[in-house]
Amino acid sequence: MKRYCQTLSLKNDPQLIEAYMREHAHVWPEVQAGIKEVGILDMQIYIHENQLFMIVDTVDDFDWERDMNRLATLPRQAEWEAYMDRFQDAGEGKKSNEKWQLMTRIFKLE
């Protein structure tokens, strides 16, 4: 299993943040199916104020660039990303892997 961690800022607007959280309680079925189809085993998003942190666990042969680009072509993915643009402070019209910034692990408890 591979693990990726990412961060993204939301627009600092309490009403938009609340709406973003509501939308993620009901992610579209096609989007969830696409995430699984490309080899993502688990995905979790955490929030602190307007800062998001995402953990993505994948199959061993997952290739970030290849599989995230494939995900962007699956049903309703582009529509979901465009819909999420209004909440995110990352620039409009970008694919998920262009908005979310990969993080580098600097510590692991052994």
In a domain, 107, yes or no: no
Cα 63 to Cα 37, 69, 89: the distances in Å are: 13, 10, 26
pLDDT at 11: 95
In a domain, 109, yes or no: no
In a domain, 97, yes or no: yes
Total number of domains in the chain:
1
pTM for the model stands at 0.90
Q: Euclidean distance between the first and final Cα of the chain, in Å?
A: 18
State the Cα–Cα distance between residues 70 and 73, nearest whole angstrom.
5
How does pLDDT run across 44-84, given as a tens digit for each residue?
A: 999 999 999 999 999 999 999 999 999 999 999 999 999 99
* Structural domain range at position 61: 2-102
| CATH code of 18's domain | 3.30.70.100
> Looking at residues 97-110, what average pLDDT do you find?
91
Asked whether residue 19 carries a pLDDT value surpassing 90, the answer given is yes
Q: Would you tell me the crossing angle of helices 77-84 and 14-24 to the nearest 10 degrees?
A: 160
